[in-house]
Amino acid sequence: MNKVFAYLALVLSVAFAAAPLLSGDFTGFRAEQLPIPQINPPVQPAGYAFAIWGIIYLWLIASAIYGVLYKRDDPQWTQVRMPLCISLAAGIPWLVIAQVSAIWATITIFIMLGGALLALHRTPSTNRWWLRGPIGSYAGWLTAASFVSLATTAAGYGVLTDGYHWAFAGIIGALIVTIMTYRYTAAPSYLATVVWALIGIIVANGMTNFLVTATAIGGIAVLICVLAIWAPLINRPR
């Protein structure tokens, strides 16, 4: 069974990375997908930030190859692969789903996030670069992307308030999940990827939406403090 999940993780990682070749890239929902069009929603990072997917794809594939070669029968890796495979399997059709339905795309990306966070939580404190590192970067971007999707979709359907206020909710929601996750699994790559997304939000908003920019800057400051305080104290190699 360990070997089955090792090869399955490799196949799904490659398929996940190849999916954009068939469905195209995604940098946000189209205006016509939502009853209230969200053109350049303030919660969405600048387009360049999505280039981090290149690193995530390659790192996940490298991790899966390493796992097949050297960790096929490792039960610690297997317990990580199980939720990771669920997340990747849900992620393969995600780009197609996102082009059809914002609601289903949001539901699906939270399923992806759940699997990624569980996989990250199960990573052993050894092999950080080969396992915790790539899964951390993957889970970090999904944390940010999930709340971007939720905030954009909720604003697009006029739930409670507009896109400007949903931007604050999305940033704060992502920060809460990030801090809670990092408290139990110290993965610098996870924190760094969330910071990358916040920088993308800062670049996208600039001085136009100063309060959104200030919230993102404040979020980065909080995460840097979290890194400085918790990293030396938790999840040391055992």
Closest CA to 187 of 125, 113, 142, 103: 125
| Residue predicted with more confidence, 100 or 108 | 108
Confidence of residue 238 (pLDDT cuts 50, 70, 90): very low
3-state class (DSSP) for residue 100: coil
Is residue 226 within 8 Å of residue 181, measured between CB atoms?
A: no
Residues 197-219: what's their mean pLDDT?
93
Whether 144 shows a pLDDT value over 80: the answer reads yes
Whether 90 shows a pLDDT value over 50: the answer reads yes
pTM: 0.92
Instruction: Check residue 185 and give its pLDDT.
Output: 86
Residues 6+ apart with CB under 8 A from 208: none
CA–CA dist 104, 43 (Å, integer): 19
- Percentage of the residues of the chain whose pLDDT score is greater than 90: 67
User: Which phi and psi (to 5°) does residue 42 adopt?
Assistant: -65, -20
Per the prediction, the chain carries an average pLDDT of 90
3-state class (DSSP) for residue 235: coil
| Residue predicted with more confidence, 2 or 10 | 10
